[in-house]
Structure 1
């Protein structure tokens, strides 16, 4: 039986499900004190033995940021003449937010049809388990990998990866490699094998029109007191209009590169049953939906409030607040976001609206024309026997910039989940057919890395 066949058989036998069931039981919630003990147990009892079985020397490292948890690094060196692969995963999961359907326990893996329910199945335990299993299959088949392996696990991705960039900068020699291959986030859709090269960044923007203590009767004071809710609505509309179009040039990237446009030309989004209908008139009309989602910036209002909308009273509120989020692509001058908003609001007559920003993951991407990209896409297309979607970056956030900007690596992300996985929500699940194909694709990619001479790349 060839390697793809062995990968399929591994899933069909129930072995992948059984192993994932053990991983899900660890309540590795990174934003809860009780989760820290579970994280350490997961590193010691699950990941360290998994890496040791691959012939890795395993070390655990303290986080330079006290807000974050430890790092785990496994290193297998076969020859200095061989290429070195860096893999990445995160051991932590989000906490619970709401009740799971059907009486499901988030810490018990449950199969219902093609869905494997459990916290961390899609983000990220199921995904890094698939890659560890693929490496194990290649090693068992060949007796060697044919490349050097380094595997980095962090324990705080769900809280913004505190300390990861600093750790990478301090440990450049330890983490030195030729390419990153990792798995996180979703495919384009459940049916389409996907390779993405980076991630959009995010900036949280807090707007606050705090004009006076308490409310004042709208009949006695209406027309002579500035209404903070009306003011804030006007300020937001000056930033992004009622059709989702950003009005401040500094919040946009300088261009949509031709290579990005070409990569997205055949990408169709929102095709999975159950996906919401796309709003064709929302956002920049010059762009396709794929370009808006993967190649451009968006400014979204996440929350907006003044007074009590459920029990309104005849009073002008004293304060109104809103939280916005800028999702931005590589090339955007993110350091100018807060100053640009401040300048714009002042020029529009809204100096009374305060602005506070908080940056999340930074945007980054590997160039579409990088040789590693064409190599990986060719391998995946051959084994998948159908087109593989190539996304310059996916729409969400990942610490990709640590690998591109700090370590200087080409980054190849092969996701083993899909957009409807309920990541970060009740009823998170891994889709069995996607996991099955994901193991086949990862096995083929690692096998090709070990068998293709470096000169051919």
Structure 2
């Protein structure tokens, strides 16, 4: 007789017998760098040679969509409708990865070859996001094998442009909103707070990237002949940036300080662990009076991602004519996203930095989203994960990073539940990206149990 325990046992066997690593190795080997236009054929190959056969083998019908935005890659839509009266789950993944950075990986590793070393599986896309949607689709497959049916309807979107801001995704959702109707999004991305403990989150911080430029003159001028006479663009830019945050990293622009860290959200974030498996958290950095989880999940953060004046690789005794910095604001619900850059303009002008130019980044970025931690779907998923793991999951109102969650909430009107299958030390977006085998096996168990529980909801 079909059972929850047997469904989970099938997921365990899929991992223990080596099939999970075999499948993941094939996915990692496809060089789906969406930031590299030359790899566009690989984006199509990922969908047509791997995702399409996998889903059709599970009884899904599939449709491939070309992106309506020239900057974006293709999307795959799949559905298995067992009964129109059943609940419909929408799930999502992205097959694209960031640039390989091949030369920066340590000896013995390669971004497009799955390498096993002890507890770790290395390769580009292991943490972000090939492994994560593979786990969810295979957990569905285990349920199908056990029951012969799902007992609910499933729709799947696999995109290939997430690492370039999910360009074209919102347009696709608007054009096909009827086709994408569902009751809830259940998907996976991002890290757990602790490797051995399940995490769930219901939204993400938004993000805005922009350049700050100071262009004072053409070319550079001898620092001995002109030092003390010519304004230094690097100094001006440094002071402008320093006016945005104080010496402790506290945001000084009032419009960038959110109003949404309510007692309810603070209670949800209370006592959550943070930073496990990652770098040591800096002491006395960030908004004063907030805990580390409140700073990461309940507040905004400003960062300078890159900065340049002159030629750092080969400096000369000359005052540069220009300086630039690529910056980012990660922001939570409660921040007026339309006023982020106008507020920055007003702030810089007020402090005497009218010569600093603000240039919005070309790439699309995501809006901030958050689902009420008391939503019924949150309770349901939490209870399921608890039953399988024996642990109360860490529940976050939103991820600290950014995802295209706004397309699901704002366009499709869905409650969104994310169950991440990676961990904080996975080197996501960096050389030596990897996952932990223990987390992957545990995630297969959790998702198999969750899908079984959804099948029993009627």
TM-score under structure 2 length normalisation = 0.95
Compute the displacement of 1:337 (Å).
Answer: 1.2
User: Are 2:84 and 1:80 equivalent residues in the alignment?
Assistant: yes
Structure 2 distance, partners of 1:212, 1:30, is 36
Compute the displacement of 1:342 (Å).
Answer: 0.9
Question: SS at 1:260's partner residue?
Answer: helix
Which residue number corresponds to residue 289 of structure 1? 292
Q: Of residues 29, 49, 52 in structure 1, which corresponds to 2:53?
A: 49
Say whether the 8 Å CA contact 2:173–2:180 is kept in structure 1. yes
User: Are 2:395 and 1:381 equivalent residues in the alignment?
Assistant: no
Q: Of residues 110, 125, 129 in structure 1, which corresponds to 2:130?
A: 125
Compute the displacement of 1:214 (Å).
Answer: 2.7
Deviates more, 1:104-113 or 1:123-132: 104-113
Say whether the 8 Å CA contact 2:306–2:325 is kept in structure 1. yes
Structure 1 distance, partners of 2:327, 2:141, is 44
Compute the displacement of 1:313 (Å).
Answer: 4.4
Which residue number corresponds to residue 416 of structure 2? 411
Compute the displacement of 1:177 (Å).
Answer: 0.2
Question: SS at 2:172's partner residue?
Answer: helix
Say whether the 8 Å CA contact 1:206–1:324 is kept in structure 2. yes
User: Structure 1 regions of 5+ residues with no counterpart?
Assistant: none
Structure 2 distance, partners of 1:66, 1:34, is 13
Compute the displacement of 1:206 (Å).
Answer: 1.1
Deviates more, 1:2-11 or 1:63-72: 2-11
Question: SS at 2:179's partner residue?
Answer: helix
Structure 1 distance, partners of 2:57, 2:89, is 17
Q: Of residues 71, 83, 104 in structure 1, which corresponds to 2:75?
A: 71
Say whether the 8 Å CA contact 2:11–2:139 is kept in structure 1. yes
Which residue number corresponds to residue 59 of structure 1? 63
Compute the displacement of 1:22 (Å).
Answer: 1.8
Written as runs of structure 1 = structure 2, the 5 A alignment for 1:298-447 is 298-309=301-312, 312-358=315-361, 360-447=365-452
Structure 1 distance, partners of 2:215, 2:111, is 41
Say whether the 8 Å CA contact 1:259–1:369 is kept in structure 2. no
Q: Of residues 256, 260, 267 in structure 2, which corresponds to 1:251?
A: 256
Say whether the 8 Å CA contact 2:240–2:353 is kept in structure 1. yes
Which residue number corresponds to residue 144 of structure 1? 149
Compute the displacement of 1:219 (Å).
Answer: 4.6
Written as runs of structure 1 = structure 2, the 5 A alignment for 1:166-177 is 166-177=171-182
Q: Give the 3 Å change call, closer, same or farther, for CA 427–336 of structure 1 in structure 2.
A: same
User: Structure 2 regions of 5+ residues with no counterpart?
Assistant: none
Q: Of residues 12, 31, 54 in structure 2, which corresponds to 1:27?
A: 31
Which residue number corresponds to residue 239 of structure 1? 244
Structure 2 distance, partners of 1:316, 1:32, is 35
Say whether the 8 Å CA contact 1:301–1:325 is kept in structure 2. yes
Moved runs in structure 1, 4+ residues, more than 6 A? none
Structure 1 distance, partners of 2:190, 2:117, is 22
Compute the displacement of 1:124 (Å).
Answer: 1.3
Q: Give the 3 Å change call, closer, same or farther, for CA 107–312 of structure 1 in structure 2.
A: closer
Structure 2 distance, partners of 1:228, 1:200, is 32
Compute the displacement of 1:317 (Å).
Answer: 2.7
Which residue number corresponds to residue 202 of structure 1? 207
Which residue number corresponds to residue 211 of structure 1? 216
Q: Give the 3 Å change call, closer, same or farther, for CA 130–315 of structure 1 in structure 2.
A: same
Compute the displacement of 1:309 (Å).
Answer: 4.6
Compute the displacement of 1:352 (Å).
Answer: 1.0
Compute the displacement of 1:450 (Å).
Answer: 0.9
TM-score under structure 1 length normalisation = 0.95
User: Are 2:120 and 1:115 equivalent residues in the alignment?
Assistant: yes
Structure 2 distance, partners of 1:237, 1:281, is 17
Q: Of residues 38, 41, 55 in structure 2, which corresponds to 1:37?
A: 41
Written as runs of structure 1 = structure 2, the 5 A alignment for 1:99-114 is 99-114=104-119
Compute the displacement of 1:199 (Å).
Answer: 1.1
Structure 2 distance, partners of 1:409, 1:106, is 35
Structure 2 distance, partners of 1:422, 1:440, is 24
Structure 2 distance, partners of 1:216, 1:61, is 53
Compute the RMSD of aligned alpha carbons: 1.6
Which residue number corresponds to residue 163 of structure 1? 168
Structure 2 distance, partners of 1:122, 1:61, is 25
Which residue number corresponds to residue 267 of structure 2? 262
Structure 1 distance, partners of 2:52, 2:35, is 23
Compute the displacement of 1:159 (Å).
Answer: 1.3
Say whether the 8 Å CA contact 1:338–1:356 is kept in structure 2. no
Q: Give the 3 Å change call, closer, same or farther, for CA 214–295 of structure 1 in structure 2.
A: same
Compute the displacement of 1:338 (Å).
Answer: 1.3
Structure 1 distance, partners of 2:221, 2:110, is 49
The alignment covers a number of residue pairs equal to 451
